[in-house]
Amino acid sequence: MDLNSLCEVAKKAALAAGEIIGSHQGKNHDVKSKQGGENLASQVVTEIDLKAEQAILEILNPTLSEHDLGLLAEETASECTSRFEKKAFWCIDPLDGTLCFSRDEDGYSTSIGLVGQDGIPLVAAVYNPRSQTLYHAIKDQGAYKNGEVFNVPEWSDELTLLYDQSFLKHPTFDEEMNFLENAAKKLGLNGVKMFHLGGAVMNGITTIEMAPAVYYKLPKKADGGGSIWDFAASSLIQREAGGFNSDFFRKPLNLNRFDTTFMNHDGIIYCSDQRVLEVIPKIQDL
């Protein structure tokens, strides 16, 4: 596979979807619900999600036969089984952070990843229509933001905790915050600053831009915790930029799990680099 040419295709598709999303920012939308996940953010879908996915597929579809690739797209996930049969598959979230988009809040994006059958991301493109920012990465070739090298900046003096709204209602919220505060001070930082951005894709990437920063989801029994398409592209961009990501047990993210697309079984961790990993509580700490 020519990963460089496939990356260009992914960027083109992300920009095409972003153009559709951008042209509908701040407008009223027909908001519907879908099955999946425990919270509203994971259940909201608009007509823009569907239009953006269609625009992406029009660009990516020729590569399926040309390169013998599979496909996993959020809005048609139940119909996508080729990811188990092909050497690699496109993993698409046409509009991550739909709830933010419907409320005209920051934090939504288009995410396109090419993932090997072994679950390792190979190519990534993420577009933020609100800021008109395009991130991309190719495995072992670094990460880029609007064509410029994208790396972890110099640390600020506070730890930034990127979080989902559900985090505030978690039964171990107080214990987690106490652990984070104490661990941050041990790193010589002046405490923890909480920052809510929106979708999982932008939260993961923003751990680089707001270093030192963390974003994590605890394992849980109920379906949720994000899905493969939330992390397929962002995990590659974040890691190629110098960040660290894994499941909650510090093992590589399983981005081609056979029995589900949800990530709740093992949780996820994103941090701006491995030094920050020690501030994230382990299960036994809670």
Domains, the chain, in order of start with CATH, read 3-149 (3.30.540.10), 159-285 (3.40.190.80)
Amino acid sitting at position 71: L
Using alpha carbons, select from 99, 137, 24, 12 the residue that is nearest to residue 62: 12
Q: How many whole angstroms separate alpha carbon 33 and alpha carbon 27?
A: 18
Report the pLDDT value the prediction gives residue 78, as an integer from 0 to 100. 56
What confidence score (pLDDT) does residue 31 get?
56
**With 50 as the cut, is the pLDDT of residue 41 above it?**
no
- pLDDT value, residue 43: 42
Count of residues making up the chain? 286
Which range of 20-29, 43-52, 264-273 scores highest in mean pLDDT? It is 264-273
Q: Is the pLDDT of residue 126 over 90?
A: yes
Residue 269 CA to residue 6 CA, distance in Å, equals 27
Rounded to whole angstroms, the Cα distance separating 271 from 59 reads 33
- The answer to whether 100 and 198 are in contact (CB under 8 A) is yes
| Averaged pLDDT for residues 205-234 | 95
Question: Residue 17 pLDDT > 50, yes or no?
Answer: yes
* Residue 227 CB neighbours (<10 A): 26
Strand partners, 53: none
Q: What is the mean pLDDT of residues 27-45?
A: 51
Q: Full-prediction pTM beyond 0.85?
A: yes
Amino acid identity at 271: C
Enter the tokens of residue 152: 């972890």
pLDDT at 35 over 60: no
Q: Are strands 31-33 and 44-46 parallel, antiparallel or unpaired?
A: antiparallel
- Give the range among 26-35, 114-123, 156-165, 227-236 with minimum mean pLDDT: 26-35
